[in-house]
């Protein structure tokens, strides 16, 4: 069976023309809108049918107990779960008394378009009711980038042949019934009836609901206001009750006329403010939006996106699917972060309730590299959120008898919510990921206020953690034992290469900021001796090389272990392995869930020679089953670096198309924001060859076969760098007040280029000659291939 692509490959939009009622939830994730503060899934305006109704507010969560049949010291007692809040999307339509429900009657035509430049979800529908009445519906929906609290919808109904009676019910609905959670632990626990009604009100065309969560005691306000445009006479009625506010608009529409409802919805929530204060806040936001008006909201929306794309866009003259998917991914990464403003960027953004709405290391390791280089304000905000949780991280460290700070593996508000410590507490690398992302932001932006106020404490406290966790071995090296690296099929091991190398960077960066900010460091009790220890430990970090096999060990002893029987797993349909084999079996053998040593080769590029990279990649690629969505992009980056450009292109496709083609069969729960951001890494760090660890930005441009051109922008300091790669040639162009020096590398070339404002420099490149044959992937896990019609398929 050759799969059909769900969405035609169009450069700036994602378009659906048919409805697959079995895949509603996937499309709802794809068509989700968000500004990082509010997130609304692409549910149909009419509410029904839906796969998973979803409206989310960043960091608005309920607590739930974490049960343990056998508990242990330091296990978190309660978790946090993102809540489906009051739904303001709902506009139910009755046509001659028949509710518009797409499962009934006839869909004459249907189209939904996610417009990546306008920041809109557009919909057109022609529907014939079971009674034979035909109508057209057009709707547009936005979640405003310019007005953080606002979602708005324009909904237009018109008759096709005959006069029809039309009734619209525009609603705010709290405590929507949700489908039961599946047995899959990755699907968020459903919390029924989580919102306790506090107040409700309705007047003129405005309705208002205020609720409080029962456990976390957060207040939530939602308010709506409407403009109605209709030539004929219209009856209106507004009512509110605890869980429902509803504006009813009834009219008769002659052919050629239409009813247009513009709905503005404002959200607010707080852990501290009072109900009246919160009510005033959403009323104010609502009035501002109404005064702005629909057209200006659209204009503001486009402005925000123009600004983003101007610096961020990656143009690809190659496979159209990849062009579309990479923009789709960047769009969603921007949506997840643009107005998150010192709150977390969850693994699924605000597109679904998967992973309980938690944020992981994914953000710092995969999303922030993209944002730092393209939307630095959003990156800063995400890191300010981590800084805001530093006291919680210090507390967690104290509780575990550690020094410094221990950031949570998974959380919404900052408290550790991981209930399985071998893949939670033990995954200490999250601390280095945060620290290194913090240092990276400072290096790219030169934001010294941020460095002083946020980077200094984060770097110092994480460095202290590493000094507590590590020790000097008899071999003179600095070791960190008993941790879990990125590869979750190998846990609680010694000297994980990625963890060690990132910890070393963390220590080094911490030492650097102490030198630059001695006063702030002194406030944290830093002594020179402490910093000397950091530098010494960083310089002596343990990294294990298996001389016999000629490869580095992902952890001490890794390559000595038995290799997983991939043939058997392939034969038995045993992927993903975590749902077919116990951790016990996975941990004890050589089998890699996701890039780990390969990830280390990306982010600690100088710790490996080109030859080591080539052999390491060949060895580990053959062991990596990519059961995590955080795999393919990194495999792509290193595949490109070691010269396997076709393989890199396949891995790029696997990352970029993960949600559009639902490669992991779980897009229903929300999009894979980190994997989508990773597609940008595959392009820019993979084919662009971008590395940012050295003194200067390094670029090692290449292009896969059959690609005619790739161009991408980077925001560096106050400038914009544009990189345009065509076969054999690369052009670097700078816009910005200060000159920029970059390092151009290609086969036989390693050159520093200094560009001034408006300057363009052209250089030649040639492809890296691979030192190994193209690696074989584990049996049953070939990378995706793009079929002739553009659909990605995984095997």
Catalytically active residues, by annotation? 488
Name which of 308 and 421 has its Cβ closer to its own copies.
Answer: 421
CB of 503 to its own copies, least distance (A): 14
Other beta carbons within 10 Å of 711 = 18
Contact residues for its own copies, defined by CB under 8 A: 66-74, 79, 185, 400-402, 418-422, 425-426, 471, 473-474, 479, 481-483, 491-492, 494, 548, 556-557, 560-562, 578-585, 587-589
Name which of 191 and 632 has its Cβ closer to its own copies.
Answer: 191
CB of 181 to its own copies, least distance (A): 12
Which H/E stretch holds residue 329? helix 320-337
Can you list the pairs that 311-315 forms with residues at least 24 positions away whose Cβ atoms lie under 8 Å?
Answer: 311/374, 311/375, 311/713, 311/714, 311/715, 311/720, 312/373, 312/374, 312/375, 312/713, 312/715, 313/712, 313/713, 314/680, 314/683, 314/684, 314/710, 314/711, 314/712, 314/713, 315/709, 315/710, 315/711, 315/712
- The whole-angstrom separation of Cα 125 and Cα 146 is 29
Name which of 582 and 758 has its Cβ closer to its own copies.
Answer: 582
Decide if 511 contacts 455 (C-beta within 8 A).
Answer: no
Name which of 83 and 224 has its Cβ closer to its own copies.
Answer: 83
Nearest by Cα to 329 from 652, 50, 8? 652
- The whole-angstrom separation of Cα 60 and Cα 512 is 37
Decide if 487 contacts 592 (C-beta within 8 A).
Answer: yes
CB of 600 to its own copies, least distance (A): 20
Decide if 153 contacts 260 (C-beta within 8 A).
Answer: no
Task: For residue 207, give the DSSP letter.
Answer: E
Largest CA distance in the chain: 88
- The whole-angstrom separation of Cα 37 and Cα 34 is 7
Handedness of CA 556, 560, 561, 567 (dihedral sign): positive
Name which of 203 and 401 has its Cβ closer to its own copies.
Answer: 401
CB of 125 to its own copies, least distance (A): 41
CB of 441 to its own copies, least distance (A): 29
Name which of 66 and 102 has its Cβ closer to its own copies.
Answer: 66
CB-count exposure of residue 420 (10 Å: 0-12, 13-18, 19+): middle
- The whole-angstrom separation of Cα 563 and Cα 552 is 16
Task: For residue 521, give the DSSP letter.
Answer: H
Name which of 226 and 556 has its Cβ closer to its own copies.
Answer: 556
Lookup: tokens for 317: 């003259």
Task: Give residue for tokens 């009510």.
Answer: 279
Name which of 134 and 358 has its Cβ closer to its own copies.
Answer: 358
Cα→Cα distances 169→90, 131, 247, 261, 644, Å: 8, 20, 6, 10, 57
β-strand pairing of 195-203 with 234-241: unpaired
CB of 14 to its own copies, least distance (A): 33
CB-count exposure of residue 317 (10 Å: 0-12, 13-18, 19+): middle
CB of 467 to its own copies, least distance (A): 12
Decide if 85 contacts 267 (C-beta within 8 A).
Answer: yes
Give the number of residues written for the chain: 795
Other beta carbons within 10 Å of 71 = 10
Handedness of CA 756, 760, 765, 767 (dihedral sign): positive
- The whole-angstrom separation of Cα 80 and Cα 72 is 19
Other beta carbons within 10 Å of 327 = 26
CB of 402 to its own copies, least distance (A): 8
CB of 512 to its own copies, least distance (A): 27
Measure the CA angle with vertex 621, ends 616 and 626; round to 5°. Answer: 140
Name which of 66 and 198 has its Cβ closer to its own copies.
Answer: 66
CB of 183 to its own copies, least distance (A): 8
CB of 500 to its own copies, least distance (A): 14
Collapse the DSSP code of 128 into the 3-class scheme (helix H, G, I; strand E, B; otherwise coil) and give the result: strand
CB-count exposure of residue 107 (10 Å: 0-12, 13-18, 19+): middle
Decide if 93 contacts 187 (C-beta within 8 A).
Answer: no
- The whole-angstrom separation of Cα 653 and Cα 790 is 11
Name which of 5 and 473 has its Cβ closer to its own copies.
Answer: 473
Decide if 702 contacts 767 (C-beta within 8 A).
Answer: yes
Lookup: tokens for 304: 């925000």
Name which of 295 and 475 has its Cβ closer to its own copies.
Answer: 475
Backbone angles phi, psi at 215, to 5 degrees: -90, -55
Collapse the DSSP code of 691 into the 3-class scheme (helix H, G, I; strand E, B; otherwise coil) and give the result: strand
CB of 494 to its own copies, least distance (A): 6
Name which of 24 and 406 has its Cβ closer to its own copies.
Answer: 406
Name which of 293 and 473 has its Cβ closer to its own copies.
Answer: 473
CB of 669 to its own copies, least distance (A): 15
Give me the helix-helix angle, 275-312 and 320-337, nearest 10°: 150
């Amino acid at each position: 069976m050759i799969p059909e692509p769900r969405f035609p490959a169009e450069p700036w939009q994602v378009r659906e023309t048919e409805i697959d009622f079995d895949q509603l939830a996937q499309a709802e994730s794809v068509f989700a809108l968000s500004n990082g503060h509010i997130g609304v899934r692409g549910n149909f305006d009419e509410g029904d049918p839906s796969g998973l109704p979803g409206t989310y507010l960043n960091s608005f969560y309920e607590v739930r107990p974490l049960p343990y049949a056998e508990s242990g010291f330091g296990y978190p007692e309660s978790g946090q779960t993102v809540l489906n809040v009051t739904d303001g999307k709902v506009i139910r339509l009755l046509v001659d008394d028949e509710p518009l429900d797409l499962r009934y009657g006839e869909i004459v035509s249907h189209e939904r378009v996610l417009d990546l430049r306008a920041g809109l979800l557009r919909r057109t529908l022609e529907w014939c009711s079971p009674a034979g009445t035909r109508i057209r519906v057009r709707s547009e929906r936005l979640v405003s980038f310019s007005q953080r609290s606002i979602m708005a919808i324009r909904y237009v109904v018109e008759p096709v042949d005959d006069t029809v009676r039309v009734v619209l019910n525009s609603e705010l609905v709290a405590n929507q019934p949700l489908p039961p959670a599946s047995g899959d632990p990755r699907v968020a626990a459903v919390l029924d009836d989580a919102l306790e009604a506090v107040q409700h009100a309705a007047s003129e065309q405005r309705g208002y609901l205020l609720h409080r969560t029962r456990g976390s005691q957060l207040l939530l306000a939602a308010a709506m206001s409407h403009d109605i445009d209709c030539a004929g006479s219209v009856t209106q009625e507004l009512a509110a009750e605890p869980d429902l506010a509803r504006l009813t608009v009834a009219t008769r529409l002659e052919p050629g006329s239409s009813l247009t409802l513009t709905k503005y919805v404002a959200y607010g929530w707080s852990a501290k403010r009072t109900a009246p204060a919160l009510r005033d806040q959403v009323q104010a936001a609502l009035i501002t939006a109404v005064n702005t008006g629909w057209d200006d909201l659209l204009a503001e929306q486009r402005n925000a996106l123009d600004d983003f794309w101007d610096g961020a866009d990656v143009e690809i003259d190659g496979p159209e699917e990849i062009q579309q998917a990479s923009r789709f991914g960047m769009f969603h990464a921007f949506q997840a972060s643009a107005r998150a403003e010192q709150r977390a960027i969850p693994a699924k953004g605000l597109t679904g309730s998967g992973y309980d709405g938690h944020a992981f290391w994914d953000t710092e390791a995969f999303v922030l590299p993209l944002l730092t280089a393209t939307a630095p304000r959003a990156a800063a905000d995400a890191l300010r959120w981590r800084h805001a949780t530093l006291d919680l991280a210090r507390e967690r460290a104290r509780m575990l008898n550690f020094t410094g700070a221990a950031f949570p593996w998974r959380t919404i508000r900052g408290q550790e919510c991981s209930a399985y410590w071998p893949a939670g507490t033990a995954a200490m690398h999250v601390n280095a990921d945060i620290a290194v992302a913090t240092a990276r932001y400072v290096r790219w932006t030169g934001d010294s206020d941020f460095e002083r106020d946020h980077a200094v404490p984060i770097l110092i406290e994480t460095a202290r953690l590493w000094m507590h966790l590590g020790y000097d071995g008899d071999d003179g090296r600095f070791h960190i034992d008993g941790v879990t690296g990125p590869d979750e099929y190998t846990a609680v091991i010694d000297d994980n290469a990625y963890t060690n190398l990132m910890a070393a960077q963390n220590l080094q960066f911490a030492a650097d900021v102490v030198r630059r900010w001695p006063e702030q460091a002194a406030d944290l009790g830093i002594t020179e001796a402490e910093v000397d220890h950091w530098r010494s430990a960083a310089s002596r970090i343990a990294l294990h090389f298996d001389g016999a096999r000629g490869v580095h060990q992902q952890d001490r002893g890794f390559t000595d272990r038995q290799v997983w029987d991939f043939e058997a797993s392939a034969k038995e349909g045993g992927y993903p392995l975590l749902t077919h084999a116990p951790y016990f079996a996975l941990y004890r053998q050589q089998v890699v869930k996701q890039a780990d040593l390969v990830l280390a080769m990306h982010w600690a590029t100088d710790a490996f020679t080109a030859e080591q990279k080539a052999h390491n990649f060949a060895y580990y690629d053959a062991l990596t089953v990519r059961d995590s969505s955080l795999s393919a992009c990194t495999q792509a980056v290193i595949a490109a670096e070691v010269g396997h450009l076709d393989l890199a292109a396949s891995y790029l496709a696997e990352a970029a198309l993960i949600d559009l083609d639902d490669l992991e069969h779980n897009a229903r729960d929300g999009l894979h924001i980190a994997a989508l951001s990773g597609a940008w890494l595959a392009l820019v760090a993979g084919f662009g060859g971008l590395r940012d660890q050295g003194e200067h930005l390094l670029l090692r441009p290449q292009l896969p076969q059959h690609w005619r051109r790739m161009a991408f922008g980077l925001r560096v300091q106050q400038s914009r760098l544009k990189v345009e790669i065509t076969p054999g040639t690369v052009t670097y162009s700078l816009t910005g007040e200060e000159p920029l020096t970059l390092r151009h590398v290609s086969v036989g070339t390693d050159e520093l280029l200094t560009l001034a404002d408006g300057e363009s420099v052209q250089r030649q490149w040639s492809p890296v000659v691979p030192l190994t044959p193209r690696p074989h992937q584990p049996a049953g896990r070939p990378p995706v291939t793009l079929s002739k019609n553009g659909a990605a398929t995984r095997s």
